[in-house]
Amino acid sequence: MKIKVDGQTVERRAVWWEDGKVWMIDQRQLPFRYSEVSFSTPAEVGQAIKDMVVRGAPSIGVAAAYGVALDLVCCEQLFTENEMGAFLEETFQALNTRPTAKDLTTALDIVGSTIQKVFRDEGMERAREVALEAARWFDNETVRSCELIGEHGAELISDGAKVLTHCNAGALAAQDYGTALAPIRKAHEQGKGLFVYVDETRPRNQGARLTAWELSNEDIDHRIIADNAAGFYMSKGEVDLVIVGADRVVANGDVANKIGTYEKAVVAKENGIPFYVAIPWSTFDPGIASGEDIPIEERDDEEVLTTFVELDGKVQRLRCSDPSSQGLNPAFDVTPARFVTGYITPEGVLTAEDLAKRLS
C-alpha cells in the first residue's frame, strides 16, 4: 500500500517478516500517528491480534502464519513427530485469539500441515525453512488474490459511481490492495471518477480512522459519514452500490462482517442498490452450513462507552457515555445470503449458488 510518512510516499504491507521478527503497522495509532512494532514470540503476535494492533481477516491470517514460522525458526529443540504435533498445537492456541475471522485458522491449517508433512519426509531443519516459506506463500497469495478481486470488482464500478463501504477492508485489513477497497483502487487507477461514502463504523471507528486514511493516501474522493446516515443517502438515490469485506462466509453464502453490515445490506435491498461482498478464498468456510453457527466475538464494552481522540500526538480513548451505564459490544453481525447481490472473488463475481458449487 502507498503510505505518506513525513512528506514521503513509501510502500508497505500491514504485516511483514524482518530480521527474525514479525512486524506490523500499529493500526491502533492511525491516522494520527504512524508507527511500526515488532514481535518475537507467537504469544506476542496472538496478543497483538487480540488487541487489534493488526485487524482485518486476511491480515490477521498473515500475522498468524508468520507467528507459526516465528516459533519454529527460533526454536533449536529437536522433536519427535508427536512432540512436533504438540508444539504446533500450543503455538496455534497462542495465536488463535479472535474467533470470527476464518483467515486466521485457514493460515494455521495451511502452514501447520505443510510443516508436519515436510517434518515427516525431510526432518527438522527443512521443516524450519519451510515454515517461513509457507508463511511467505500465504502472504503473497493473499496479496495476489486481493489484486484479482480488485480487477473483477472494478468492472462493477462505472465512471462517476458513488460507492458506500463499511468498516476497513482495505490494504490495512488485507496486506496490500484490500478486499472491498481493491475494486475502488483499481477503478481509480483506470481513471474512473468515483466517490466513496465512508461509514465511521463505531465503536472503533475503523472507517473514519483507517479507510479514510487509506483513501486520502491515494487521493480518492470520499467523505466520512455517521453510520446512521447511510440509509439517508441510499434513500436519496445517492449510492450506486455497496461493497464490504467479510471475516467469514459460510456454505450457504451467509456473511459475518463488522457489526452494522447487516443493517446496510437490508437498507440496500429495500432501495434496490446492489450489495457486494469482496473476499479471498481464505475467508470461505464450507464447514459451517449457515450464519447461525458462526462464532461471534464479544469485545470489551469499553469500546462502546468510549471514543478515540488525539491529544498531544497520542491516540487516547475518552468516555463519551453515561458514567453509570454499561454496554454491549458484539464485534460482528451476520448478513443472510439473500441480501447479497454477489461475491467478488479472485475468480470473478459469483452468486451464492455459484459459491456453493465452487466449495462443494
Residue 75 banded pLDDT, cuts 50, 70, 90: low
pLDDT digits (tens, 9 = 90+) for 196-225: 999 999 999 999 999 999 999 999 999 999
* pLDDT of 150 strictly over 80: yes
Distance from chain centroid for Cα 169: 6
Residue 124 banded pLDDT, cuts 50, 70, 90: confident
- Contact between 217 and 2 (Cβ < 8 Å): yes
Residue range 32-43: mean pLDDT, rounded: 94
* pLDDT of 244 strictly over 70: yes
Indicate the burial class of 140 (C-beta count within 10 angstroms; 0-12, 13-18, 19 or more): middle
> Cα separation of 245 and 165, whole Å?
9
CA dihedral 138, 60, 298, 329 (to 10 degrees): -130
Q: pTM for the whole thing?
A: 0.94
pLDDT digits (tens, 9 = 90+) for 266-291: 999 999 999 999 999 999 999 999 99
The predicted structure's pLDDT at residue 199: 97
Q: What's the grid cell of residue 121?
A: 519426509
> Cα separation of 174 and 211, whole Å?
12
Per the document, the length of the chain is: 360
Q: What's the grid cell of residue 165?
A: 463501504
The fold of the 2-147 domain, in CATH, is Four Helix Bundle (Hemerythrin (Met), subunit A) (1.20.120)
Measure Cα distances from 162 to 14, 17, 169, 244 in Å. Answer: 27, 37, 17, 14
The predicted structure's pLDDT at residue 78: 67
Provide the percentage of residues in the chain whose pLDDT is more than 70: 99
Q: What share of the chain is helix, strand, coil (3-state, %, to 5)?
A: 45, 20, 35
Q: Give which of 199, 169, 173 is closest to 184, Cα–Cα.
A: 169
CATH superfamily, domain 155-359, is: Translation initiation factor eif-2b; domain 2 (3.40.50.10470)
The predicted structure's pLDDT at residue 235: 98
Residue 92 banded pLDDT, cuts 50, 70, 90: very high
Amino acid in the structure at residue 327: G
Identical fold between 2-147 and 155-359: no
Domain boundaries, the chain: 2-147, 155-359
Provide the percentage of residues in the chain whose pLDDT is more than 90: 82
Q: Which region, left, alpha or beta, applies to residue 351 given φ > 0 means left and ψ of -120 to 50 means alpha?
A: beta
Is beta strand 194-199 parallel, antiparallel or unpaired with respect to 161-165? Answer: parallel
3 state DSSP class of 292? helix
CA angle 295/68/347 to nearest 5° reads: 60
Residue 1 banded pLDDT, cuts 50, 70, 90: confident
> Cα separation of 329 and 299, whole Å?
5
* pLDDT of 232 strictly over 90: yes
3 state DSSP class of 231? helix
Residue 105 banded pLDDT, cuts 50, 70, 90: very high
Indicate the burial class of 274 (C-beta count within 10 angstroms; 0-12, 13-18, 19 or more): middle
Residue range 59-65: mean pLDDT, rounded: 97
Q: Give which of 153, 161, 163, 166 is closest to 264, Cα–Cα.
A: 166
* pLDDT of 126 strictly over 80: yes
Q: What's the grid cell of residue 66?
A: 508468520
Residue position matching grid coordinates 457486494? 276
> Cα separation of 73 and 70, whole Å?
5
Mean pLDDT check: name the lowest of 96-105, 120-129, 335-344. 120-129
* pLDDT of 9 strictly over 90: no
Q: What average pLDDT does the structure give for the chain?
A: 93
> Cα separation of 107 and 130, whole Å?
14
- Contact between 176 and 143 (Cβ < 8 Å): yes
CA dihedral 63, 67, 70, 73 (to 10 degrees): -110
Catalytic residues: 247
* 198 backbone dihedrals φ, ψ, rounded to 5°: -110, 105
> Cα separation of 320 and 197, whole Å?
25
CA dihedral 66, 69, 75, 77 (to 10 degrees): 150
Residue range 182-196: mean pLDDT, rounded: 97
The predicted structure's pLDDT at residue 185: 97
pLDDT digits (tens, 9 = 90+) for 305-317: 998 888 877 778 8
- Contact between 316 and 309 (Cβ < 8 Å): yes
